[in-house]
Amino acid sequence: MSIIPFDEEDDGEDVTANPLDLVEQIVVANEWAYDRSSESSLVVEIAGQWAEYRLFFSWRNELSVMQFCCAADVRVPPARRAAVQELLMLANEKLWIGHFGASFTDNLLTFRHATLLRGAASASVEQLEDLVDIALAEFDRFYPAFQFVVWGGKNAVDALSLAVLEPVGEA
């Protein structure tokens, strides 16, 4: 659906610059290990508070959308998968941006978010920095709860209450 009528002189091409070019500049400036295997994908390795994370950036020019995924290698035994899925659901209720997911075949817990850039010249440095900062902060915030469920045998509700403190009031 389009609110603005299509301009007949416009060739209809998307003019949004590939945001992965800017991501790559940020990665190089921070001296992070990375691999840019194509114009549409970039993988970065970065240390968080609790784990090493892999950041996956994918660009789809035809949709002007950048998919971002922050993943941690967490081996979830089959007997703990239902509890982890419940924890992911509870954690997602507390998020404003992005969501957690799991790929049990790849042993990955992920934080994902997509950024729509249609009509923008490109993503800004601030947007990209925020994207990474939010993913790392949320993963680090919930990582102890994941560990309580996977290795501590806790249920999702108990793990979340033990690992994530919600501040109330002012200091």
Instruction: Give the chain's mean pLDDT.
Output: 87
Question: Is residue 152, in this structure, part of any structural domain at all?
Answer: no
Q: What is the pLDDT of residues 24-57, one digit of tens each?
A: 999 999 999 999 999 999 999 999 899 999 999 9
Tell me the CATH number at 59.
3.30.1460
Mean pLDDT, residues 75-85 taken together: 93
Residue 73 pairs in a beta bridge with 108
Q: What is the pLDDT of residue 13?
A: 57
Output 164 or 64, whichever has higher pLDDT. 64
- Residue 48 in domain: yes
On whether the CB atoms of residues 23 and 128 are closer than 8 A, the answer is yes
Nearest to 48 by CA among 163, 151, 164, 143: 143
Instruction: With H, G, I as helix, E, B as strand and everything else as coil, classify residue 9.
Output: coil
Predicted confidence band at 8 (pLDDT cuts at 50, 70, 90)? very low
User: Is the per-residue pLDDT at 5 higher than 50?
Assistant: no
Within a domain: 57? yes
Any domain includes 49: yes
CB-based contact 138:95 (threshold 8 Å): yes
**Domain membership of residue 55 as a residue range:** 19-78+98-136
Beta bridge pairs of residue 165: none
Number of domains in the chain: 1
